[in-house]
């Protein structure tokens, strides 16, 4: 999950698909990890799914 945070820090508009490609895991794995990061208040999404961006809180 640290790798997800690093990639989002570099590009806050990165997509789940791009994250999965860069980390060589499935979209489902990225989605599960993002749910965990959100519940731990490390990550949040601002705006819409298409036009929004990620915000790293910690």
The residue ranges of every structural domain in the chain are: 2-56
User: H/E element holding 55?
Assistant: strand 53-56
Mean pLDDT across 51-55:
93
Among 52, 50, 55, which Cα is nearest to 8's?
55
- Using CA atoms, how far apart are residues 58 and 53, in angstroms rounded to an integer? 16
Specify whether domain 2-56 bears CATH 1.10.10: yes
pLDDT score of 49: 82
pLDDT score of 57: 94
Query: pLDDT per residue over 15-51, tens digit each?
Result: 999 999 999 999 999 999 999 999 999 999 999 888 8
């Amino acid at each position: 999950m640290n790798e997800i945070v690093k990639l989002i820090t570099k590009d806050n508009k990165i997509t789940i698909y791009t994250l999965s490609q860069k980390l060589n895991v499935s979209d489902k794995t990225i989605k599960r990890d993002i749910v965990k990061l959100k519940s731990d208040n490390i990550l949040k999404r601002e705006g819409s799914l298409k036009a929004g961006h990620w915000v790293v809180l910690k």
